Amino acid sequence: MYQRALRGHADTSTFGSADGLWDHLLRRGARSPGFRMVRGGSSTSLTKLTRSVGFGNRNLTDVVASDKVIDEYRSGATAVLQGLHVSDPHLAKLATNLALALDQPIQVNAYLSPPQTHGLDLHYDYHDVFVVQLDGAKRWRVWDPIARTVNPSKSRPTAKLTLDELGSPVIDTIIRAGDTMYVPRGAPHAAETVDQHSVHLTVGMPSISWDRVIQVAMAAEVASGGLTVPLPTNLLDDGVAAPIDQLDVQRLPKHLDPNVLRHWMAREIWRRMAPTRLRPIHPAAPPTDGAELSFTPGPLIWLTGFGERCVLSYGNRRMELPTEAAAWLTNVLNAPDTFRADDIDGLDTESRRVVIARLIDEGVLVAR
């Protein structure tokens, strides 16, 4: 399985550059937890990496001390940039496109390692990871998941892995600039530099699992007033059972209805992603009748209905409209890439103008 998915050569210019990542860390006032440093499996104390900076009437104590970071790197520590899918506009778009394609949240980190070192110890991840080597080279060893790392959960941590229990790796290779590699969730792995430095990205997919879905369903039922039947006072007596039949557990599946689940899933994905669809900074004039319209690049758009309202959601924002607009919005979502409002049925002319003006002001549509 891993050998087939192991490596492919990519145009890494689409992912950024080593120089760009160093610039992001050293020259743009990076703050913790946006970066950390690791060596031999241990994290460097932040007091060795940060400095205090006066900022107005505040004192920021977690700002990167660039020279200290360089000193740590020269002495063998790996610099880790975290959450680049939020802080880097270019990688935010990359992560958004992948999230759209996979219907799962995406996160991007970077690892900048000096020669002949290892930052993290042997470990496994709770999510699938795609490694993109940008510069230099790194040796990777990957093992098949063992029983206690299959479908791992952060709520169920396991003991530290050892090489003795893993046996021989299924992969032992060096990847170089332009190579990509896939490491499945739960697969133990270890990476180290040999005679070159290394700069690589990890594009992670922290998939939403069923335990999270069930937790949300239970929380929603509790919030709606369910599951409030008290336990009996004599429950600790011998032979007394909890009155499970008093609980209306049949209510739980309503929170797992496909439409409800789909709506929640979309919101769960986009709360973790950067806001790549933005409102115009300056309000745009309403388009003239007959103007060509198109959607702006950005996150998933989905339409749902609740009672007398329909809800158009786009990333981390939403718009509520009268239910009469639902049919027209459905037709718009199915329209060609460029369309004229006059060609879309479902609303009268005046209502259509109002809705289009709102969609343009929200940055969802743009007049060409």
53 and 122 together in one domain: yes
The pLDDT of residue 12: 67
> Hey, CA dihedral for 74, 75, 76, 79, is it positive or negative?
negative
The pLDDT of residue 2: 36
37 and 135 together in one domain: yes
111 and 219 together in one domain: no
CA distance 135 to 196: 9
**Residue 286, in any domain of the structure:** no
Q: pLDDT tens across 324-367, in order?
A: 899 999 999 888 889 998 888 899 989 999 999 999 999 999 99
**Residue 283, in any domain of the structure:** no
**Residue 282, in any domain of the structure:** no
- Tell me which residues of the chain have a pLDDT lower than 50: 1-7
152 and 196 together in one domain: yes
32 and 161 together in one domain: yes
Last residue in a domain, options 179, 205, 231: 205
Q: pLDDT tens across 132-186, in order?
A: 999 999 999 999 999 999 988 887 778 889 999 999 999 999 999 999 999 999 9
The pLDDT of residue 9: 52
Distance of CA 349 to the CA centre of its chain: 40
318 and 244 together in one domain: no
Domain enclosing residue 347, as ranges? 292-367
- Token output for 275: 């806001």
255 and 137 together in one domain: no
- Would you say how long the chain is, in residues? 368
**Residue 232, in any domain of the structure:** yes
Q: What is the CATH number of the domain that holds 166?
A: 2.60.120.650
Question: Long-range contacts of range 326-332, CB-CB < 8 Å, 24 or more positions apart?
Answer: 328/352, 328/355, 329/303, 329/355, 330/303
Number of domains in the chain: 3
The pLDDT of residue 6: 44
- CA neighbor of 34 nearest in space, from 44, 24, 43: 24
**Residue 280, in any domain of the structure:** no
- Token output for 255: 């929170």
| DSSP summary character for residue 213 | H
